[in-house]
Structure 1
Amino acid sequence: MATNMREQVEIKTHDQTTLRGWFYQAGSKAPVVVMSPGMPGIKEHFLDCFAERFQKAGIATLLYDHRNWGESDGLPRHHSNHQEQTQDTHDVIYYISTRSDIDPNTIALWGSSFSGGIALIAGAVDPRVKAVITQVPFVSGNAARARLPDDFLAKIYTDRGETTFLKPTYIPAFPNSLEQARTQPYAAVMSTEESWNHYQDVTALGHNKENKITLQSMFYAIRSEPAAFISQISPKPLFMTIGLHDSLIDSQLQKQVFSNAGEPKELLKLDCGYFDVYKGRRFEENISAQIAFLKKYL
């Protein structure tokens, strides 16, 4: 069949929020990968490159924006509630399992960074998921909380008391300048120099999106613990990609969490940073290994 064909789809969640995304067809009764962006990403931020490669390999893909982001509905905008996003994942899996053009017995769940944590949680507990792929995953809110200075942590909780749901405080998602990235480590959620460089690549794609996220997104992030679920994934196969020079998530912690997973499991260790897994040579290594994993287990 022709590749690069995709269908606009709308999915209603349990609370009737509309999620929007793209379905990449791959023939009749094809295996399927369910994909979602990390925080604060949208589907156009290099994730379509993964979806197109899965499709060319004969694997259908459903790629969608989380509630409050991109083309999906939900308020407040630019807000990530890790628990809500995880719950929405089960609704997306229901949607894809009812389509006549996929095999409901071959559903894989894919996540990256923040959604990598979602993949670990939802993949562990949802019996419809048959395989899990997670790359540079967010694995521990406790670890994230421990890295925050006391004044920033206090700001998160004070803000929750002083603001309302629909009138939130916003902070930058990425640094506003290279100098800020180098000198102000808590000026943005993703505040490293590597993050600044990636933001330039994202901007060059032409998908305009305000550089902001609610401060309360951090409240939900530091309360989520995907690592607690990883041992429950087995006997489903698990694939994890880590960047050994990740500037945002401790790769040693990721390896430690991975060691708690049961078999079958595969770990791809790339000699690169957090964002390199999306682009260039490291992307090619990453996507080739992921396709081989899916061909093996789906």
Structure 2
Amino acid sequence: MGREDIEFKTSDRVTLRGWFYSSDSASGKAPCLVMSHGFTALKEMDLDAFAEHFVSKLPIHVLVYDNRGFGDSDVAEGEPRYEIIPMVQCSDMSDAITYAVSRPEVDPGRIGIWGSSYSGGHVLYVGAVDRRVTAVLSQVPCVSGWDNFSRLVRPDFAVGFNATFAADRVARAEGKEPGYVPVVDADPMKPSALPTPDSYEFFTKWESKSSWKNTVTVKTIELFRAYEPQQLIDKIAPTPLLMTVARGDVLTPADLALGAYARAKEPKQLQLLPCGHFEAYAGTYFERNAGTQAEFLKKWLVEGG
């Protein structure tokens, strides 16, 4: 197994950076899985463990990258870092596919996409509209920004966010710097993007051992609420879909994900894990989770179903 530092340009000429993992068991042109992380998360935050698992078990390559404005990736000139525009991240995922298929060791007819949490929603959209994709893996996904926001944010806090959104729009129109809010906060009474105890535990752990920053633009939260990645889930078929759902998920609630999964068409597969959102990444449930995903990849990406 080898890991190479890579970079590629998006369609609007922004440089994204990541890693390309090569499998020792791959020969000739082999399948490739494109992976990106969730809300503000970086490639170092457990994606390397998944990539290493997949290339050690299967004759596939894996491309992992940081989203624009985060980690090692750049941002468009004049645009702020730490801002997420969901449809731009979806477009960047398709650009990552374009880079992957340009590599001589990759079979352009066998491309999988893997996303978790926020990007678990992105892959539902990209899997429907980018027909180069031949397998979709969606882990603990955000499927509805509106419903997810309503679950996470108390109604009285939502009123405050609405005022903040409006003020930020005026300030940015006047040429002022964008407003920012913390991604997580130890105090649940203070505004943050992800106001759950397990989010705070997960991200602060990584803050001390990576370049992750506890900040995101106000506009990011407004766009999150408006994002509905489930809207085309029934259009993914006949591309196979694996959705991994954590029954105890309080960040991207399981019932919302299951409702979206019910609308997806065959071929599809559901993996239910008896854990919370972040437990799907590491620890007790990692081998079970990654093992099921590897079997799905073997069936649909390596053997072609």
Considering the TM-score relative to the shorter chain, is it more than 0.5?
yes
8 Å CA contact retained: 2:206, 2:212 = no
**Root-mean-square deviation over aligned CA pairs:** 1.5
In structure 1, the residue matched to 2:4 is: 7
Partner of residue 222 from structure 1, selected from 203, 214, 225: 225
Matches within 5 A, 1:93-112: 93-112=97-116
Structure 1 residues 133, 166: closer, same or farther in 2, change over 3 A?
farther
Residue of structure 1 in register with 2:165 after alignment: 156
Inter-partner Cα distance in structure 1 for 2:273 and 2:243: 11
The verdict on how the C-alpha distance between 1:187 and 1:193 changes in structure 2, with shifts beyond 3 A counting, is: same
Residues 17 and 73 in structure 1, CA contact (< 8 A), matched pair in contact too: yes
Which residue is 1:52 aligned to?
A: 52
CA distance in 2, matches of 1:293, 1:60: 15
CA distance in 1, matches of 2:215, 2:205: 17
Change (3 A) 1:134 1:208: same
Counterpart of 1:263 in structure 2 is 266
Aligned-pair CA distance for 1:281: 1.5
Superposition pairs for residues 15-164 of structure 1, below 5 Å?
A: 15-26=12-23, 27=26, 28-57=28-57, 58-74=59-75, 75-147=79-151, 148=153, 149-163=158-172
Aligned partner of 2:242 in structure 1 is 239
CA-CA distance at 1:83 after TM superposition: 1.0
SS of 1:196's partner is helix
Following superposition, the deviation at residue 145 of structure 1 comes to 4.2
Residue identity in the other structure for 1:13: T
Cα contact 2:29–2:105 (8 A) shared by 1: yes
Equivalent residue for 1:167? Answer: 177
SS at match of 2:53: helix
Q: Quick check: 1:241–1:267 contact (8 Å CA) kept in 2?
A: yes
Q: CA deviation at 1:208?
A: 3.0
Contact kept in structure 2, 1:32 and 1:60, CA below 8 Å: yes
Q: Which moved more, 1:31-40 or 1:148-157?
A: 148-157
Letter in 2 for 1:98: S
Letter in 1 for 2:163: A
Query: Which amino acid is the alignment partner of residue 138 of structure 1?
Result: C
Asked if 1:188 corresponds to 2:199, the answer is no
> Partners in 2 of 1:208 and 1:128 — Cα distance?
33
| Identical counterparts, % of pairs | 39
TM-score normalised by structure 2 residue count = 0.90
Q: Choose from 287, 297, 305 the match for 1:284.
A: 287
* CA separation of 1:295 and 1:20: change in aligned 2, threshold 3 A: same
The answer to whether the 8 Å contact 1:34/1:110 transfers is yes
Measure how far apart 1:173 and its partner are: 0.8
Deviation at 1:144, TM superposition (A): 3.0
* Contact 1:135/1:240 (8 A) holds in 2: yes
Residues 240-249 or 285-294, more deviating: 240-249
Residue 118 of structure 1 and its aligned partner are, at CA, apart by 0.8
Alpha-carbon separation, structure 2, partners of 1:264 and 1:35: 21
Contact 2:121 2:141 in 1 (8 A): yes
- The whole-number CA distance in structure 1 between the counterparts of 2:230 and 2:210 is 33
CA distance in 2, matches of 1:88, 1:208: 21
Name the aligned partner's letter for residue 270 of structure 2.
Answer: L
Q: Deviations over 1:193-252 (max 9, x none)?
A: 111221243235x11322111111112212221111110001110001111111111211
Cα offsets for 1:114-157 (capped at 9, x unmatched): 11111010111111100100101010122134344222233223
Calculate the TM-score normalised by the size of structure 1. 0.92
Number of positions where the alignment pairs a residue of Structure 1 with one of Structure 2: 288
- Cα distance in 2 for partners of 1:128, 1:44 equals 27
